[in-house]
Amino acid sequence: MAVDPGELIIWATVLGLLVGVIWSLKYLVVLDRRLERMEEHMDRILHKLERPLEKLEKSRR
């Protein structure tokens, strides 16, 4: 079963596109996880800051 050069180029292009899409999705997942971790850290920091602010507000009343 011989493959002519035109068909080989088409298959190579399709394979290259699939590899590119999978590679980019991998990095999108990595970036999404990093952003999620950053949001969690920001929430923790804000939660820690809320406690002293609540104490200050109570002491001013």
- Rounded to a whole number of angstroms, the CA Rg of the chain reads 26
Counting the structural domains of the chain, the total is: 1
Greatest Cα pair distance, the chain, in angstroms, is 88
Residue 11 domain flag: no
Structure tokens at 42: 């920001």
> How far is residue 3's CA from residue 36's CA, in Å, rounded to a whole number?
47
Q: What is the pLDDT of residue 20?
A: 97
Residue 60 domain flag: yes
Residue 56 domain flag: yes
For 4-57, the pLDDT digits (tens) are: 999 999 999 999 999 999 999 999 999 999 999 999 999 999 998 888 877 777
Residue 49 domain flag: yes
Closest by Cα among 41, 44, 22 to 33: 41
Residue 35 domain flag: yes
Amino acid at 4: D
Residue 16 domain flag: no
- Containing structural domain, residue 43: 28-61
Q: What is the pLDDT of residue 17?
A: 98
Whether this model's pTM surpasses 0.75: no
> How far is residue 52's CA from residue 60's CA, in Å, rounded to a whole number?
12
Residue 20 domain flag: no
Residue 33 domain flag: yes
